[in-house]
Amino acid sequence: MTAHSQRRVHRLVVDGVDLAVEETGRGPPVLFIHGFPLDRTIWRHQLDHLGAYRCIAPDLRGMGASGSPEEGYAIAQYATDLVRVLDQLGVSRAGVCGLSMGGYIALEFASRFRDRVASMVLMDTRAEADSPAAAEARIAMAQRARNEGLAAVTEEMLPKLLAPESLARNDLVVASVRQMMRATPLAGFLGALQAMRSRVDYRGSLAALGPTPTMVVVGAQDAITPPALARTLAAAIPGAKLVEVPGAGHLVPMEQPETTTQLLREFWRSVKPSEWE
């Protein structure tokens, strides 16, 4: 059977919002949470090559093929959406893997729904809340998106998302990221900015994550959440493993897909069977 024939896309209505949720593979469940302003296809290689796991990859509300309400965006709301997705799919416990904003949501998910988390992968993300300057920059970005549209904002963001080498040579990844960003509904884009700007600081909850097997992954050239932040994050979670991926910026699963898939496979293999139950 080809990897593609295993893809299943559900439409699940959660709190009145229609979410697109892709599933591939069979085995212990793992939940993939994408970043901003992207969609589940950042995990394409992982979804198609981790057939020994039941991979569950939703498009968050307001992004990808999911519905985009005018209001109702908060990190806590995204986390609640995801627990409802797991409920509807009959999954009681899953490995959680979030990238960037997906990592903020993973941390929120773990602090609210601890018993649903079998293991954690925090990729290109941070535990710190926005600094005042970062919060201001989000307001400016929202204004630019309203005034000039997402195409303008996309060109501003692209060089920060990808390593210089990926930007210069990896045309497929550049085109795919550009397309995802431009296709993001304005309401979802603005809602996510507002949600990230208002998010809490998760540093105080990291020590309690200790018993959960955790891996922190970062692109060596990540300009948005640089390796130094990942080191601090991993050091604050007892027992967490840290991996720095060469040749990648902020979008490790797309820029180094095979390496990322292999890292996840090895990490999940190391998780004790009892953790998945």
**Residue numbers of the site for ligand MLT (CB under 6 A)?**
35-36, 100-101, 196, 224, 250
Minimum CB–partner distance for residue 112 and ligand MLT (Å) = 19
Closest CB to ligand MLT among 19 and 101? Answer: 101
Q: How far is the CB of 267 from ligand MLT (least distance, A)?
A: 21
Judged by beta carbon, residue 42 or residue 236, the one nearer ligand MLT is 42
Please give the angle made by the CA atoms of 159, 221 and 166, to the nearest 5 degrees: 50
Q: Are 150 and 186 in contact (CB under 8 A)?
A: yes
- Nearer Cβ to ligand MLT (29/35): 35
Residue 10 or 197: which CB sits closer to ligand MLT? Answer: 197
Least distance in angstroms from the C-beta of 101 to ligand MLT: 3
Q: In whole angstroms, how close is the CB of 51 to ligand MLT at the nearest point?
A: 27
If the CB atoms of residues 104 and 276 are measured against ligand MLT, the closer one turns out to be 104
- Least separation in angstroms between residue 50's CB and ligand MLT is 21
